[in-house]
Amino acid sequence: MKVTTEKKKPFIDMTAMSDVTVLLLTFFMLTSTFLQKEPTTVITPASVSEEKVPEQNLITLLVTKDSQIFMSIAGDRDSTYSSDKMREEVLKNVVAEYNKKQPNDKKIQLTNADIATFGSTHMFGLPLAQLSAWCKLPAEKRDALLDPVKNPKAGIPIDMGKDVENRNEFQQWMLALYNTSNPNLAKAVKNGKGIAIKADAATPYSVVQVVMDNLQTLKMNKFTLMTALKTEED
Protein backbone atom coordinates (compact mmCIF):
# COMPACT_ATOMS: atom_id res chain seq x y z
CA MET A 1 0.00 0.00 0.00
CA LYS A 2 1.37 3.44 -1.02
CA VAL A 3 1.61 5.92 1.78
CA THR A 4 0.88 9.53 0.88
CA THR A 5 1.60 12.53 3.01
CA GLU A 6 -0.59 15.56 3.24
CA LYS A 7 0.77 18.46 1.27
CA LYS A 8 0.97 21.71 3.14
CA LYS A 9 1.52 25.16 1.77
CA PRO A 10 4.85 26.63 2.89
CA PHE A 11 4.59 29.42 5.46
CA ILE A 12 7.25 32.05 6.02
CA ASP A 13 6.94 34.24 9.10
CA MET A 14 7.68 37.82 7.91
CA THR A 15 7.32 39.41 11.33
CA ALA A 16 11.05 39.70 11.89
CA MET A 17 11.60 41.11 8.39
CA SER A 18 8.89 43.72 8.96
CA ASP A 19 10.54 44.78 12.21
CA VAL A 20 13.90 45.20 10.49
CA THR A 21 12.30 47.22 7.68
CA VAL A 22 10.67 49.60 10.14
CA LEU A 23 13.92 50.01 12.07
CA LEU A 24 15.87 50.79 8.89
CA LEU A 25 13.25 53.26 7.73
CA THR A 26 13.31 55.00 11.11
CA PHE A 27 17.12 55.14 11.04
CA PHE A 28 17.26 56.76 7.61
CA MET A 29 14.51 59.25 8.50
CA LEU A 30 16.41 60.38 11.61
CA THR A 31 19.86 60.56 10.02
CA SER A 32 19.07 61.93 6.56
CA THR A 33 19.79 65.55 5.69
CA PHE A 34 17.19 67.01 3.35
CA LEU A 35 18.22 69.46 0.65
CA GLN A 36 17.11 72.99 1.40
CA LYS A 37 15.29 74.97 -1.24
CA GLU A 38 17.42 77.54 -3.07
CA PRO A 39 16.19 80.47 -5.21
CA THR A 40 17.79 79.01 -8.32
CA THR A 41 19.69 75.96 -9.49
CA VAL A 42 23.44 76.46 -9.52
CA ILE A 43 25.67 73.99 -11.36
CA THR A 44 29.05 74.23 -9.70
CA PRO A 45 32.27 73.67 -11.68
CA ALA A 46 33.98 70.28 -11.40
CA SER A 47 37.18 69.60 -9.49
CA VAL A 48 39.07 66.67 -7.95
CA SER A 49 38.64 67.91 -4.38
CA GLU A 50 36.75 65.48 -2.15
CA GLU A 51 36.68 67.69 0.95
CA LYS A 52 33.13 68.29 2.14
CA VAL A 53 31.86 71.59 3.49
CA PRO A 54 30.42 71.39 7.01
CA GLU A 55 26.67 71.27 7.58
CA GLN A 56 26.76 73.49 10.69
CA ASN A 57 28.16 76.96 11.34
CA LEU A 58 28.36 77.77 7.66
CA ILE A 59 27.61 80.87 5.61
CA THR A 60 26.88 79.91 2.00
CA LEU A 61 27.13 82.60 -0.67
CA LEU A 62 25.29 81.54 -3.79
CA VAL A 63 26.40 83.43 -6.92
CA THR A 64 24.23 82.91 -10.00
CA LYS A 65 25.35 83.09 -13.61
CA ASP A 66 23.51 86.44 -13.80
CA SER A 67 25.70 87.86 -11.00
CA GLN A 68 23.03 87.78 -8.29
CA ILE A 69 24.11 86.95 -4.75
CA PHE A 70 22.08 85.05 -2.16
CA MET A 71 23.05 84.07 1.35
CA SER A 72 22.18 81.21 3.69
CA ILE A 73 23.04 80.75 7.37
CA ALA A 74 23.45 77.41 9.13
CA GLY A 75 23.98 77.39 12.89
CA ASP A 76 24.68 74.65 15.39
CA ARG A 77 22.70 71.50 16.08
CA ASP A 78 22.58 72.85 19.63
CA SER A 79 19.28 74.67 20.16
CA THR A 80 21.14 77.62 21.72
CA TYR A 81 22.70 78.50 18.37
CA SER A 82 20.24 76.85 16.00
CA SER A 83 19.97 78.06 12.40
CA ASP A 84 16.65 79.82 13.05
CA LYS A 85 18.05 81.69 16.06
CA MET A 86 21.21 82.64 14.19
CA ARG A 87 19.21 84.07 11.28
CA GLU A 88 17.05 86.10 13.65
CA GLU A 89 20.11 87.45 15.47
CA VAL A 90 21.89 88.33 12.22
CA LEU A 91 18.78 90.10 10.98
CA LYS A 92 18.60 92.24 14.12
CA ASN A 93 22.31 93.06 13.83
CA VAL A 94 22.20 94.13 10.20
CA VAL A 95 19.00 96.17 10.62
CA ALA A 96 20.41 97.98 13.65
CA GLU A 97 23.53 99.01 11.72
CA TYR A 98 21.55 99.91 8.60
CA ASN A 99 19.17 102.15 10.56
CA LYS A 100 22.03 104.17 12.09
CA LYS A 101 22.62 105.91 8.77
CA GLN A 102 19.01 106.24 7.65
CA PRO A 103 16.54 109.09 8.27
CA ASN A 104 13.53 108.18 10.39
CA ASP A 105 11.25 107.69 7.39
CA LYS A 106 13.74 105.24 5.83
CA LYS A 107 14.47 103.10 8.87
CA ILE A 108 13.51 99.42 8.71
CA GLN A 109 10.69 98.52 11.10
CA LEU A 110 10.28 94.83 11.88
CA THR A 111 7.73 93.03 14.03
CA ASN A 112 8.37 89.82 15.95
CA ALA A 113 6.43 87.99 13.24
CA ASP A 114 8.72 89.49 10.57
CA ILE A 115 11.80 88.32 12.47
CA ALA A 116 10.36 84.82 12.88
CA THR A 117 9.59 84.68 9.15
CA PHE A 118 13.17 85.55 8.30
CA GLY A 119 14.43 83.00 10.83
CA SER A 120 12.61 80.23 8.99
CA THR A 121 14.02 81.27 5.58
CA HIS A 122 16.89 79.10 4.36
CA MET A 123 18.31 81.53 1.79
CA PHE A 124 17.80 85.28 1.34
CA GLY A 125 18.79 87.86 -1.25
CA LEU A 126 17.11 91.27 -1.62
CA PRO A 127 18.06 94.90 -0.92
CA LEU A 128 17.56 95.80 2.75
CA ALA A 129 15.02 98.50 1.87
CA GLN A 130 12.65 95.73 0.67
CA LEU A 131 13.12 93.53 3.74
CA SER A 132 10.16 94.66 5.84
CA ALA A 133 7.64 94.40 3.00
CA TRP A 134 9.04 91.02 1.95
CA CYS A 135 8.61 89.52 5.41
CA LYS A 136 4.91 90.39 5.40
CA LEU A 137 4.15 88.61 2.12
CA PRO A 138 2.67 85.09 1.83
CA ALA A 139 5.24 82.32 1.34
CA GLU A 140 4.63 81.87 -2.39
CA LYS A 141 5.10 85.60 -3.06
CA ARG A 142 8.28 85.68 -0.96
CA ASP A 143 9.65 82.81 -3.02
CA ALA A 144 8.73 84.58 -6.26
CA LEU A 145 10.67 87.70 -5.26
CA LEU A 146 13.76 85.59 -4.56
CA ASP A 147 13.51 83.84 -7.91
CA PRO A 148 16.09 85.44 -10.26
CA VAL A 149 13.98 84.54 -13.28
CA LYS A 150 10.80 86.14 -11.95
CA ASN A 151 12.63 89.03 -10.30
CA PRO A 152 15.82 90.07 -12.16
CA LYS A 153 16.52 92.61 -9.38
CA ALA A 154 16.81 89.88 -6.74
CA GLY A 155 20.11 89.53 -4.94
CA ILE A 156 22.10 91.30 -2.22
CA PRO A 157 23.61 94.57 -3.53
CA ILE A 158 27.40 94.51 -3.83
CA ASP A 159 30.12 96.61 -5.43
CA MET A 160 33.91 96.66 -5.45
CA GLY A 161 33.69 97.26 -1.70
CA LYS A 162 36.86 99.27 -1.11
CA ASP A 163 35.17 102.07 0.88
CA VAL A 164 35.58 100.98 4.51
CA GLU A 165 33.59 103.98 5.77
CA ASN A 166 30.47 103.15 3.75
CA ARG A 167 29.98 99.43 3.74
CA ASN A 168 27.88 98.04 0.91
CA GLU A 169 24.96 95.80 1.86
CA PHE A 170 26.85 92.59 1.23
CA GLN A 171 29.53 93.68 3.68
CA GLN A 172 26.90 94.76 6.21
CA TRP A 173 25.42 91.25 6.11
CA MET A 174 28.82 89.59 6.48
CA LEU A 175 29.76 91.76 9.46
CA ALA A 176 26.41 91.03 11.08
CA LEU A 177 27.06 87.32 10.56
CA TYR A 178 30.55 87.52 12.01
CA ASN A 179 29.43 89.45 15.09
CA THR A 180 26.87 86.94 16.35
CA SER A 181 26.94 85.44 19.84
CA ASN A 182 27.79 82.02 18.39
CA PRO A 183 31.51 81.41 19.12
CA ASN A 184 31.56 78.31 16.93
CA LEU A 185 30.51 80.30 13.86
CA ALA A 186 33.17 82.95 14.49
CA LYS A 187 35.79 80.22 14.91
CA ALA A 188 34.69 78.53 11.67
CA VAL A 189 34.96 81.84 9.77
CA LYS A 190 38.48 82.41 11.12
CA ASN A 191 39.78 78.99 10.14
CA GLY A 192 38.29 79.17 6.65
CA LYS A 193 35.53 76.59 7.06
CA GLY A 194 32.70 78.99 7.88
CA ILE A 195 32.27 80.68 4.48
CA ALA A 196 31.53 78.79 1.26
CA ILE A 197 31.11 80.43 -2.15
CA LYS A 198 28.80 78.41 -4.39
CA ALA A 199 29.01 79.85 -7.89
CA ASP A 200 27.53 78.55 -11.12
CA ALA A 201 30.02 77.19 -13.63
CA ALA A 202 28.78 79.88 -16.04
CA THR A 203 29.27 82.73 -13.56
CA PRO A 204 31.95 85.14 -14.85
CA TYR A 205 35.12 84.92 -12.78
CA SER A 206 35.11 88.71 -12.42
CA VAL A 207 31.87 88.45 -10.40
CA VAL A 208 33.34 85.82 -8.06
CA GLN A 209 36.43 88.01 -7.75
CA VAL A 210 34.28 90.91 -6.53
CA VAL A 211 32.81 88.66 -3.83
CA MET A 212 36.27 87.52 -2.75
CA ASP A 213 37.58 91.11 -2.73
CA ASN A 214 34.70 92.16 -0.49
CA LEU A 215 35.48 89.35 1.95
CA GLN A 216 39.15 90.25 2.01
CA THR A 217 38.29 93.90 2.65
CA LEU A 218 36.59 92.65 5.82
CA LYS A 219 39.72 90.62 6.73
CA MET A 220 37.83 87.41 5.93
CA ASN A 221 40.71 85.95 3.98
CA LYS A 222 39.85 82.26 4.27
CA PHE A 223 36.87 80.71 2.51
CA THR A 224 35.88 77.68 0.46
CA LEU A 225 34.88 77.50 -3.21
CA MET A 226 32.24 74.78 -3.62
CA THR A 227 32.67 72.42 -6.58
CA ALA A 228 31.26 69.18 -7.88
CA LEU A 229 33.44 66.07 -7.98
CA LYS A 230 35.03 65.68 -11.41
CA THR A 231 34.04 62.51 -13.29
CA GLU A 232 35.98 60.48 -15.85
CA GLU A 233 34.06 62.25 -18.63
CA ASP A 234 35.32 65.62 -17.36
Q: Encode pLDDT of 176-218 as tens digits.
A: 988 888 888 888 888 888 999 988 888 888 888 999 999 999 8
Number of structural domains, the chain? 1
Q: Is residue 50 in a domain?
A: yes
Q: Is residue 39 in a domain?
A: no
Q: What is the dihedral of CA 96, 102, 119, 187, to 10 degrees?
A: -50
Q: Is residue 150 in a domain?
A: yes
Asked if residue 91 lies in contact with residue 41, where contact means CB atoms within 8 angstroms, the answer is no
Q: Is residue 23 in a domain?
A: no
Asked if residue 89 lies in contact with residue 185, where contact means CB atoms within 8 angstroms, the answer is no
Q: Is residue 12 in a domain?
A: no
Whole domain around residue 50: which residue ranges? 46-229
Query: Is the full-model pTM beyond 0.75?
Result: yes
The closest of 234, 226, 209, 178 to 55, measured between CA atoms, is: 226
Q: Is residue 128 in a domain?
A: yes
Exposure on the CB side of residue 167, measured as CA atoms within 13 A: 19
Q: Is residue 21 in a domain?
A: no
Q: Is residue 149 in a domain?
A: yes
The list of the chain residues with pLDDT below 70 reads 1-16, 27-51, 161-164, 227-234
**Helix segments in the chain, DSSP class H:** 15-31, 83-100, 112-119, 131-135, 139-146, 169-178, 183-190, 205-217
Report the C-alpha gap between 124 and 147 in whole angstroms.
Answer: 10
| Residue 205, C-beta contacts closer than 8 angstroms, at least 6 positions apart | none
